[in-house]
Amino acid sequence: MESKPTTPADAAQIQAALTDPRRLAAVRDTGLLDTPPEEVFDRLTRLAAKLTGAPVTFVSLLDADRDFYKSAYGLGTTRQLSGRTFCHYPLVSGQALILEDVTQLPVFRDVPTVKSLGIRAYAGIPLRTESGEVLGSFCAVDFKPKQWTEQDVEIISELAHSAMREIRLRMALKDASALNQQLQAQIQKVDALNRALSEMATTDALTGVANRRAFDHSLQLELAIVERRGTPLSLLMLDVDHFKRINDTYGHEAGDKVLVAIAQLLGGCARVIDVVARVGGEEFAVILPNTDAGGAHEVAERMRSAVARSNWLGQPTTVSIGAATLHDKEDAASLYARADAALYAAKTAGRDRVAMA
């Protein structure tokens, strides 16, 4: 059988189709241009040759200025051709092109591969995407005239269909992996946002230590541990002395810097399991798990003297500290109130000192 296009495409039509940006994008999207031969395509061209008796069969992808052969059976090492080829005609018509003897047809006898490769018979089925773009064709050629049977054409069409299904599968996998990457990136962003949010919810923005909310939560947690294990627990309340004066003399910003420095100092004096929190404007609290009154006094004294030795403003800053150790069956509010009362006592006793509840 033979299909002779009544008016085969001219050079301008072919050039326009070859360089059509949507089509070219689809060809490049396959990810197959310039990739090495693969068995899955080679099996199809081998089968086409075997079943039709054609000595050469290939899967061509039409780039703007060359035909790239993803698979070529019987063509030696040729992987691409430039210049006019038979595959350009089904590209424009979108139809199968079946030629029994190209030398008998005026338009086709001038195609360069007639001379360069000696092609006499050609059967090409366009490889078309679902959206209608022709990527190339599945072809069989012979070096002598050949009467393609209906079955030959059916076989080539079926194999073209299989090649196209493989190409579609590749594109879907590529899309899926791109989507997956996007999804992973989004998940990472959401995770980072969540981490930032949870940090914001529990951290004091100025000093970076725990905020009031995190302090309350930690204190409840420590009380639950005490109840189970019977370990001691102490709490320090700490207030910067004459902080209003610091603000008034050096400015609010300098006051802020002092708060940050004190928070750092307290952190340096505490163990990893201790919780340093800013619970008010210039008020800090420190939860001391597994610490009795003696230990609490020792830590409080260490913190007090560390601050007193500081010289952030060209003069020492001091803090007053109240310490309370948990009584049997005592709740968080009571412990807090006793530590706060001790702090008040330290203030009234002259500041820069530790008072025990």
Q: Answer yes or no: are the C-beta atoms of 102 and 119 closer than 8 Å.
A: yes
Site stretch for ligand GTP (CB under 6 A), options 64-72, 73-81, 135-143, 249-257? 249-257
To ligand GTP, the closest distance from the beta carbon of 327 in angstroms equals 27
**Taking contact as CB under 6 A, which single stretch among the options 81-89, 145-153, 251-259, 292-300 is the one that binds ligand GTP?**
251-259
Radius of gyration of the chain (CA): 42
Q: Does 10 bind ligand GTP (CB under 6 A)?
A: no
Q: Which stretch binds ligand GTP (CB under 6 A): 13-21, 60-68, 99-107, 239-247?
A: 239-247
Residue 189 interacts with ligand GTP (CB under 6 A): yes or no: no
Please tell me whether residue 327 binds ligand GTP under the rule CB under 6 A.
no
**315 part of the interface to ligand GTP, by CB under 6 A:** no
What is the enclosing helix (H) or strand (E) of 136?
strand 134-142
> C-beta of 291: minimal distance to ligand GTP in Å?
25
Catalytic residue among 39, 282, 283, 301: 282
Q: Is residue 282 close enough to count as binding ligand GTP by CB under 6 A?
A: yes
Under the binding rule (CB under 6 A), the answer on residue 256 touching ligand GTP is yes
* Residue 142 contacts ligand GTP per CB under 6 A: no
Q: What is the 3-state secondary structure (H, E, C) of 177-219?
A: HHHHHHHHHHHHHHHHHHHHHHHHHHECCCCCCECHHHHHHHH
Distance between CA 221 and CA 352 in Å, rounded? Answer: 31
Of 59 and 276, the one with the shorter C-beta distance to ligand GTP is: 276
The region of 26-34, 183-191, 247-255, 266-274 touching ligand GTP under the rule CB under 6 A is 247-255
255 touches ligand GTP by CB under 6 A: yes
Asked if residues 73 and 48 have their Cβ atoms less than 8 Å apart, the reply is yes
Which residue from 63, 239, 340, 352 is in contact with ligand GTP, where contact means CB under 6 A?
Answer: 239
Is 241 a binding residue for ligand GTP by CB under 6 A? The answer is yes
284 touching ligand GTP, by CB under 6 A: no
Task: Please name the residues in contact with 337: beta carbons below 8 A apart, sequence gap of 6 or more.
Answer: none
DSSP letters, 246-266, are HHHHH-HHHHHHHHHHHHHHH
Burial 134-163 (b: 16+ CB within 10 A, else e): bbbbbbbbbeeebebeeebbebbebbbebb
Number of residues engaging ligand GTP in binding (CB under 6 A): 17
| Residue 104 CB neighbours (<10 A) | 13
| Surface-to-core class of residue 271, CB atoms within 10 Å of its CB (0-12 exposed, 13-18 middle, 19+ buried) | exposed
**Interface with ligand GTP (CB under 6 A), residue from 4, 115, 242, 309:** 242
Residue nearest to ligand GTP (CB): 281
Residue closer to ligand GTP by CB (options 161, 347) is: 347
Stretch of residues binding ligand GTP (CB under 6 A), selected from 40-48, 91-99, 168-176, 237-245:
237-245
Backbone φ and ψ for 184, nearest 5 degrees, come out as -60, -40
Min dist. Cβ of residue 350 to ligand GTP (A): 11
**Interface with ligand GTP, residue 195, by CB under 6 A:** no
Q: Within a 10 A sphere around the Cβ of 181, how many other Cβ atoms?
A: 10
Q: Nearest Cα to 299, choosing from 260, 265, 347, 259?
A: 265
Concerning whether 298 is annotated as a catalytic residue, the answer is no
Residues designated catalytic:
282
| Residues binding ligand GTP (CB under 6 A) | 206, 239-245, 247, 252, 255-256, 259, 281-282, 347, 351
